[in-house]
Structure 1
Amino acid sequence: MRPIRPRTRALAAALVGLSVAACGCTGSPGAASAAPGAAPGPAAAPATQVPQAARERPETAGATETARRDPALPAPGEAIPKDPVRLARALTGTAERLRQAIDDWRREGNPAEGRAPEPVALLALYQQRVYRYLARHPETAARTYARLPKAVAGPAKADVTAIRKLLTLVHPVSRPARFRVKEPEPADVLLGHFRHAERRFGVEWEVLAAVMLVETKFGRVRSPSHTGAKGPMQFMPRTWEAYGMGGDVHDTRDAVLGAANYLHASGAPRNYRRALYAYNHSWAYVDAVLLHARQMKRDIRNYYAYYNWQVFVVTTRGERRLTGP
């Protein structure tokens, strides 16, 4: 079946992770307000809605108390160093602690149930915030990379580059965008959906996970985009009718299968760039998705770190975080 051409749309909120949730399947980039750090431009209509409490996002008592108990854990609003030497030190330490926290979670916890432990959530959030800062300050980023160990510099540069590319697709709004958000399904439940879709359609699970990361921060953003894209993989209605196989666009398992079906019909796994461009008519989007996918392919711990990246909204007065500790 011939793929349906994507309709124009804006990256919305999971980028939001960047500060907006991407407007998913079948749409080209446009202005959005909740994106990784959007480039200035005319304000776009809010894509989603979230309660006032979520928009204000105070630090939770539990996260704050954990940070007090363990000085190695950054508080949710921990200040980000501006000096490259201190930034490199902070990133190196965060990478080491996050790696260990993820290993502990997978070995001693249960990623198939409930939320991530607070050490994982706090360290991943801090990592994400530092990357977002570096994405907006390329000169500082270059000086920071030069001071990082090779094992940290490569992943940091890849993630910052992906965030910077996504930010070019987003325009801040003058007033905070409203988003409906919710907790994502457990990390290993999502991983099961991705791997099931890979077995059925041959589309690598890391690519599917990267699409969901960019589109809705693993399902945290639940509102449709301002162009009408819906569900955790952000499908336009006509595309869902063609590739959703009769499923529910809001059901995570069905949405992941539909995305794999669409990407396969559009050229994956033979040509991921072509398939992802069909999903979203933006080469910046394609590059960002593939950068994140390669990171997960290199080390599955990156999937668990990305799973804990949060939703931000970009306004003309700065970013606001909608989810997380």
Structure 2
Amino acid sequence: MGKRHLALMLISVGVISVMGSLAFNAPSTNNVLISKDKVATKGPTLPSDPELPLMADGRHYPIVPADPSEIAALLLAVEKALHDSTTSAEQLPSLGHQQQVIYRQLSKDYKKSEKVLKMLPTRWQHVAKRHLAARREFLNMHRNSNIPRLLPAWRIIAPEPAKNLLSYYRKAETATGIGWEVLAAVNLVETGMGRIDGVSVANAQGPMQFLPTTWNEQGIGEGDIRDPHDAIQAAARYLVRRGGLQDIRKGLWGYNNSNHYGKAVLEYAALLEEEPKAFNGLYYWEIHFVNEMGDLWLPVGYNQSKPIQASSYLKQFPASKPK
């Protein structure tokens, strides 16, 4: 597929014309872990500040405490809630975003992250280490890249419902032998599980970021390159063709010619294999874009046909910037 950097400055998840207004169509708030016979429970109270600007859906940029012990306590509460099948579905978007921002900040601060890790119970230490290792691979991947001045020409849309995505990954696994966890991880790092609706500098398209030439190869693309179901099935077939059944690292190298990329994807895949409920958090990660103005949150509703100055965008949507 070649090198594509559509989602790698972020992961990470909409921009619109600065003269327009953000229109939100939020991702489905379904706890895919919850059983019908269980009563939803309230998750932890997240840090808040009434002075912070809000997005159209009433949320603000997640706050991360400065003190390592407070971070550890918050992270533990968030992880437990995201892994709990009774957590209220309405809280999942905020919990997932809080988790994401904690790991994004800790990944850049080795000393603080080590202090936080030591305060976590063993199980959650391992989960956190997986997250940090994956994020740091992407940081290393872009270590020598220039920080962009402009925000990208993307449209951020609500992802396919979580239960649908899980069914697509598992269908592809059954058909090809490529693990559903790998497909979910690729979907996450490429477009935030389909949130980024845009074309990369290399002309890669759709939720799994296919080059049209690759999509058109016999036996790879079937259906619509922009359709989540079709793209996920095609990605599995592509990984097989690139040798993924013999060595998944080879398959991922075909997807993106970077060892950092492959290692990051496999860290997330290993996390999902060890902790399948981790999907409940990853699904709610937002699109972030590292810019000279900071680690900016581009919410569902962002829709920009051309690159835009971050300062101009932030004047209208200040909630995209951290405190």
For this structure pair, what is the TM-score category when the shorter chain's length is used for normalisation?
0.7 to 0.9
**Does 2:227 correspond to 1:251?**
yes
Question: Which residue, 163, 177, 195 being the options, matches 1:220?
Answer: 195
2:41 matches 1:72: no
Q: 1:86: which partner in 2? A: 70
Does the alignment pair 1:165 with 2:137? yes
Query: CA distance change for structure 1 residues 164 and 57 in 2, over 3 Å: closer, same or farther?
Result: farther
Q: Deviations over 1:69-101 (max 9, x none)?
A: 98714454232122222211111121122222x
TM-score between the two structures when normalised by the length of structure 2: 0.77
Q: Name whichever of 74-83 and 146-155 sits farther off.
A: 74-83
Structure 1 position 210 matched with structure 2 position 185: yes
**Percentage identity across paired residues of the two chains:** 31
Cα gap change, 1:298 to 1:197, in 2 (>3 Å): same
Counterpart position of 2:94: 122
Q: Distance in 2 between matches of 1:222 and 1:128?
A: 20
Structure 2 counterpart of 1:51, from 16, 19, 25: 16
Superposed CA offset, 1:98-124 (max 9, x none): 222xx126xxx8xxxxxxx23111111
Q: CA deviation at 1:161?
A: 1.2
Q: Identify the residue that residue 104 of structure 1 maps to in structure 2.
A: 86
| Superposition deviation, residue 232 in structure 1 | 0.4
Return structure 1 stretches of 4+ with deviation > 6 angstroms: 53-60
In structure 2, what residue type is equivalent to 1:87?
I
Distance 1:127 1:286 in 2: 23
The Cα offsets for residues 160-179 of structure 1, whole Å up to 9 and x where unpaired, read as 11011112334421122231
Q: Which runs of 5+ in 2 are unaligned?
A: 26-41, 49-59, 301-318
C-alpha deviation, 1:132, in angstroms: 0.1
From 262, 271, 284, the equivalent of 1:295 is: 271
Question: Contact between 2:127 and 2:271, CA under 8 Å: does it hold in 1?
Answer: yes
RMSD: 2.7
Deviation at 1:52, TM superposition (A): 3.8
Shift of 1:53: 6.8
* 8 A contact 2:243–2:251 mirrored in 1: yes
CA distance in 2, matches of 1:16, 1:96: 25
Query: Which stretches in structure 1 are left out of the alignment for 5+ residues?
Result: 1-5, 20-48, 61-68, 110-116
TM-score in terms of structure 1 length:
0.76
For 1:123-202, list aligned pairs within 5 A. 123-170=95-142, 171=145, 172-202=147-177
Partner Cα separation in structure 2 for residue 202 and residue 87 of structure 1? 39
Equivalent residue letter for 1:236: L
Hey, which of these two has a bigger chunk of helix by percent? 1
SS of the counterpart of 1:209?
helix
